[in-house]
Each structure stands twice: as C-alpha cells, then as structure tokens.
Amino acid sequence: MAVLCVDPASFALPAAVQSSTQKVQPRKKSNKVSAKRRRRATPRSRRMHAAFVASTSLKPMARQLLQDRTPAAYAGVEAYARRHHQEDAGALAWLVLGYAHALDKDYAKAVDPLNRAKPRAGDLGDYISFYLGTAYSQSGRTAEAVTTLSDFEKQYPESLLLRDAHVLYGTGLLAENRSQEAITVLEKNRQPPRADLELALGRAYAAAGQPIQAAEILRNLYITMPLSAEASQADVEVKKLASTTPLPPLGLNGRRTRADLLAKGKRFSDAADEYRDLLSVASPSDRPEIQLAFAVALRRSGQDKEAKKALETLDSSALEINTQRLYNLGEIARNSGDEEGFLRYLAELRQAAPTSLWLQQALLSAGNFYLLKPDYDKAIDAYRELQQRFPNAGRASYAHWKVAWLSLRQGRAAEAKTGFEQQIGLYPASAEVPAALYWRARLAEEDKDTSMARAYYQKLSERFRNFYYGELARRRLRELKADDEPARDLPRDFPHYALLDRVPPISAGTSITTSDPPTDNLRYQKAQVLENGGLLDFAVLELQAAAREDQGNWVAAETAKLYEDAGRYDGAIQVFKRAVPNYFAVDLPTLPRPYWEALFPKPYWPDLKKFSSQNALDPYLVASLIRQESEFNPSAVSRANALGLMQLLPKVGTAVAKQEKLRHFSSAQLFTPEVNLQLGPRYFREMVDKFGAFEYALAAYNAGTNRVDDWLGQGKYRDPQEFVESIPFTETREYVQAILRNANVYRQLYGTP
C-alpha cells in the first residue's frame, strides 16, 4: 500500500511506514506479565473501543475502496461517512476517503473528506492532520498546509508520523519563503539521516542566502545517499548554486564514496560511469584501485568486453590489485565459455596468491563451471582443492559436500561413504548435514547394514523434523525391514554411532507460548480502528509501537492476524518466518497452532481443492507450490512477469486458457484467484504427465522443461530423490525440496484434504 510523502514529485510510503524511526520510550520492566496487567479504562480508551465496535461494518467497504478505487467503492464509503458523520466511525470513513483520493493522486479531492474527518478525529487526529497537510501541500495550497501542521508536535507528541510531519511542515515553510523557520524545524530532525529532509534543508539554506552551508548539505546527500531519488535533485541544486557562488570542487574522496555506494547498491552501470569520470582526475597512486573498481563495475553490468580491456591495461604491480585483476579476467573468460582462458587465469592466481579470498572464489567458480558442463571429475578436483586449501572458509562445507555427492554420481560408493561421514564430522552444523545423513543411510541400506541405516534415519528424522530429508527418512524407516532381526523402532535399540553425536541439537527446542495482547493499550486499540479502515500498514506500525511499550511476546501473532484478516497471507507468513526462523526443525506441538496455520495457510481452499482434484493433484502439493511461488499473494508479479498465485507467464496462461475453453481471456485475469487456480494446476499436470514424477515436474516449473530434459539425460538416477540432489542450480534444487517438504507439513497440520 502506498501513502503520501512530503515531496510533491513522488508518492511513496512515509518514513514512519517504511521503517519506523520515531522512538517510543519503553516502560520500565516489571516482574509482571503485561497480559496480567489491567488498568482502569480511561475516557480515551473507552472512546477508542467504541469507535472500533462502531466501525466494524466499514471494514469491507474500506478495503474494497483502497484496493480498487472505483466510483462505486467511493460512493459506498462516502454514504457510510455521511450516515455516521457525528460519530468517530464517520471520521474514520472520511479519513479513508481522503487517503483513497491521495492514492489516486487527486489531492484536491482529498481535502474535503479530510476536513470533514477533523471534528471527530479523536486519537486518529495525527493521521488526519498529516494527510490533510499533505493534500494541501500537493494541491498547491501551501499556506493551509503550514497552518494545519504548525502545532502538530504539540497536539500529537507521540505520533508515529511526527518526523514526517516535521519534514512536510519544513517544506511548506520553505515554500512560504520562511526559510529560516524551515531551517530551525528541519535541523532538529536530522537524525537518523533521511534524503527528503536533507534535500529540503539544503534548499532552505540556499533560500536563506547561505550557499556554502547549502552546498555542503546537498553534496553530502549526493555522495552518501546516491540510491535515493533525491540525490539527482541535490546535484541539480548544487549546480544552480555553483552558477552564482564559487564553490570548492567536489573532492576525489567524495566522488569515490559515491561510486562505491552505487556499486554496493548494485547500480553497476551508474557506478562504472562514476569511476570512468574519476579516472580522468585520479593521481597515479590512486588510479590502479579506481581502474580496478571501474572494471569490476563494467563486468557486473554485463559490459565484459570493455571490462577486459580495462583489466588488461591495469597497472598490476601491487599484489592485491593483481589478484583481483586475475580473478575478474577469469570470470570474464568463464562467462564467455573460454575454458582455456579461465584455467590460465586460475593457474596464475594460484601461483600469485595461493591463500587469497579471490583464489577461493575462483575455485568455487571452477567447480560450478564444470558442474554445469557437466564434467564431474573436474568439478570434484576444483571443489576438493577449495576445501583443502580453505577448510574453514564460508564455502568449505559446500565444496566438501559437492566432492562427496559427485563421487556418488560417478559410481564411487566407497569415496562417497567416506565423504558423507566426513561432512558430518567436519561440518556438523552445515546446511549439507541432512543430505549427508540421508545418503549415508541409503548406502548402508545398499550394503544390507540395516542397523546403521536405521540409526542415521532416526537421527535425521528427530533433528531435522520437517526438513525435506526428515520426511524421506521417515518413509525409509517405515519401509525398512531387516533380513535377520526384528524391526527396531526406538533409538535406544540401535548400535551407537559416535559420529551422530556430532550433530548439534536444535537451538530452541522449548515450546513457545504467547501472552495476551494489552487490549487497554491505546496504540493497540488504535491499530484495531485503523484496520477497520483498511489502513493495514498503519495498523501494523501501531501494533509494533504498542509492543515496544509493553512486555510480552504477543506482537507476532497479532500482526499476523491483521495480515490474515486482510487477505495478506504473504505478510503473515513473513511475520512468523522472522519470529521463528528455525520452525522447520521443530515438532508441531512446539509452536502454537496459530503459528503453523499462519505459516501454512489454506486460502482459496474450495477452488484450490476443486481444480487440484480435477487434475489428479494433491491439493496440499498445489498449496505448497503456491506458497513457494507467491506466498498466496494473488497480485504477485515476478521479475520475469509471471503473474498471480501460481506465477503463470501471460503466454502460458493464454495457452492453457484455450485448453480450458475460457472465453475472452486476458492476462489480467491471472490476478483473479479462481482463474489462476483453474489454469495453474492444469499447466502443472501437463508437466507431471510429461516427466512422470512430481520432482521432475517441479524442477521444470522452476527452471524450464529443456533444462530438466538435459539433467535427466546426464546419467541414471536411483530415484527422483537422487535427481533432486543432483540439480546443479541451487535455487531450483532448494525450490523442489521446499515444496515437497511443505506439502508434508500441510498434511501433518490438516490431515486428509
């Protein structure tokens, strides 16, 4: 959801919504849980509760208006506001109308409803005043904007919009030629720094006849916040100042800082332009480092030819410069498929800097290069060298795993066994341990060592409960039968394998309980009222502020409820992913049921189940696929322009719509859940029919059918699970594993669909 900002040239979330910077002083801790504290209801609290109850019927209309903003939706909310004009619920409705007009950038129309909201504003007064001031400002009524905001701090000292209001007020004062007053307001609000405020302050100093101070502020914005929209505006302002006032030139350090920050922000093409300009003024001592940065930016922006030229002409007498030069030349060769050139640069790098980070990176590139060819023996050599040279490096465990796994793919079972066991022993906390446990157990099965297989499977099932390999381990345990002894189901019956003791326990294994929210907290109540107005982002901010004021661990659950109630299941999922990042490792009873239901929701279930069944698909598998693709956001759009719940490309949607005989289909209909759920399962079914296994179909859904055809042609696989672990693209491999894992969690939660 977008909201008004203080700059008339843009329209985005105010800083309070993007990341709340307004500090709310926490209460002193007490030994009592906040859920058990009960305060006597104040008049404000009673009024807020009454407003919440009275405005409940507004919620569906407000949501519809803010989502669609059709004439009918406007008319419905306005009729509600007029019926309740003498009530706080009516003020909320007028606020929603004004806010909706602002979303449409029809600021002049926003003024009237926001003014109508003022008489019954109550504790929503800060939102009403802020957006009224914004509407005045952006419709050219500056004097009224200034008047509206002049006593904002006095009226609403605890508002989350206070700093945004100061910036808006300062901008208005500047427009009224009251530059010194603007400076006073803005200077008091400079920490933490924000681009819109710095731009307004620089302009205020310029208007006040202090060009040197103005230039200093504007240049600092240009240098230190180059990713902001205001940075280019600041540059324009400085050039204006320079036309009338002699200004010192922008120093080399400042220009270098800007270029480095552009590169850090992945604006590589812009960074390359900055570095190119710097080369013309750099001193001989600074030039090599800048030229290297220039070449790297060119390479990262896809300009390999120019990057190679810059690297080949680089003064590489310094070891660190030469090391990075060789690495980048190698990457250019690798990207172009020049294997001979890549190996030549790798050999030079190995000779020049045998312990450098850049050799580590180059060896990883070499392993990945041969993995994709595929040339597994050469990939093994590169990965092994990486792990042996840098056994404690960040990618050492990954490289070690690849050596073990590719040894198995090459048919060298004994080497694979040793490698899997070493993986567990050397890197017991690594992400590859579940796979190492599983495949070592599989090899034990093939050796008829059922005791060892059971022990490894049991460890895997217990420690990595809801991981992909955890469920596979339980399946193998159910199927496993010993030839010469009764089946043993309990870990204590197994022979002890000391290696399994190396696997660390789950860091947080205790059950989580949530406290009751502080229903008498004004911010909590305010969040409820704002939710009734469809103002979800504001409601979430108020909840977070209430949590900072209060003890207890209720905020995640309450925030997720807001998102779920608004149909924003993706928001609820993200809340709990942040709150319990290791949830896949724990058993279901460890977390409250609402946590799981928010993490694995079932929206659109009747249609999802209906169209899944029509295509002979498990509804939980389809739900898991949707969770991975869009997190149940029907408006999701990918970088590749895939649309809706199941992220269908328009051309795919059009083709499947013809098969389904949908008349007058347009790609916009892919945002309609029912249509997306009719077409998506049909498309996925085609892939299942083509490849014969869900694992292959899921890989094709993510990476494309041609790639899966290629991967299936790269030798025989024991089963689809071996294929999955062999997928060379990390993203696709983890995608397939996550969907199959999530489908199992769905089954555990909800039973038979």
pLDDT of 210-259, one tens digit each? 999 999 999 999 999 999 999 999 999 999 999 999 999 888 999 999 99
Percent of residues, the chain, with pLDDT higher than 90: 87
Q: What are phi and psi of 375, to 5 degrees?
A: -135, 85
Q: Which of 259-268, 446-455, 485-494 has the lowest mean pLDDT?
A: 485-494
Q: How far apart are CA 533 and CA 539, in angstroms?
A: 9
Total domains in the chain come to 3
Residue 392 placed within a domain:
no
pLDDT at residue number 9: 36
Average of per-residue pLDDT across 298-327: 97
Q: How far apart are CA 526 and CA 320, in angstroms?
A: 57
Residue 176 placed within a domain:
yes
80 and 203 inside one domain: yes
> Is the confidence at residue 392, as pLDDT, over 70?
yes
CA triple 697-701-705, angle to 5 deg: 75
590 and 621 inside one domain: no
644 and 663 inside one domain: yes
> Is the confidence at residue 545, as pLDDT, over 70?
yes
581 and 638 inside one domain: no
**Residue 620 domain boundaries:** 605-750
Residue 34 placed within a domain:
no
Residue 744 placed within a domain:
yes
Residue 124 placed within a domain:
yes
How many helices (H) does the chain have, and how many strands (E)? 40, 0
558 and 636 inside one domain: no
157 and 181 inside one domain: yes
Percent of residues, the chain, with pLDDT higher than 70: 93
Question: How does residue 588 score in pLDDT terms, banded at 50, 70 and 90?
Answer: confident
> Is the confidence at residue 7, as pLDDT, over 70?
no
The last residue of a domain, from among 544, 568, 599: 599
75 and 202 inside one domain: yes
Query: Can you read off the two tokens belonging to residue 164?
Result: 């945004």
86 and 229 inside one domain: yes
226 and 82 inside one domain: yes
539 and 609 inside one domain: no
pLDDT at residue number 18: 53
pLDDT at residue number 347: 98
| CA-wise closest residue to 453 among 476, 428, 427 | 476
Indicate which CATH number applies to the domain containing 75: 1.25.40.10
Residue 129 placed within a domain:
yes
Average of per-residue pLDDT across 541-547: 95
Question: How does residue 735 score in pLDDT terms, banded at 50, 70 and 90?
Answer: very high
> Is the confidence at residue 487, as pLDDT, over 60?
no
The last residue of a domain, from among 599, 616, 642: 599
Q: How far are the Cα atoms of 465, 469, 592, 593 from residue 588, in angstroms, in the given order? A: 9, 17, 8, 8
Residue 429 placed within a domain:
no
226 and 105 inside one domain: yes
Indicate which CATH number applies to the domain containing 634: 1.10.530.10
Average of per-residue pLDDT across 93-116: 98
Question: How does residue 304 score in pLDDT terms, banded at 50, 70 and 90?
Answer: very high
Mean pLDDT score across all residues of the chain: 92
| CA-wise closest residue to 613 among 690, 677, 662 | 677
Indicate which CATH number applies to the domain containing 553: 1.25.40
pLDDT at residue number 10: 35
pLDDT at residue number 486: 52
Task: With both helix axes pointing from N to C terminus, report the angle between 195-207 and 229-244 in degrees, rounded to the nearest 10.
Answer: 20
Count CB neighbours of 655 within 10 A: 15
Residue 198: active-site member: no
What pTM value is reported for the model?
Answer: 0.89
Question: How does residue 142 score in pLDDT terms, banded at 50, 70 and 90?
Answer: very high
The last residue of a domain, from among 196, 222, 248: 248
> Is the confidence at residue 308, as pLDDT, over 80?
yes
534 and 634 inside one domain: no
Q: Of 629, 631, 686, 695, which residue is the catalytic one?
A: 629
| CA-wise closest residue to 531 among 46, 48, 16 | 48
Q: Which residue has better confidence, 10 or 498?
A: 498
Q: How far are the Cα atoms of 192, 246, 353, 723 from residue 365, in angstroms, in the given order? A: 40, 51, 16, 22
Residue 257 placed within a domain:
no
pLDDT at residue number 4: 32
Question: How does residue 483 score in pLDDT terms, banded at 50, 70 and 90?
Answer: very low
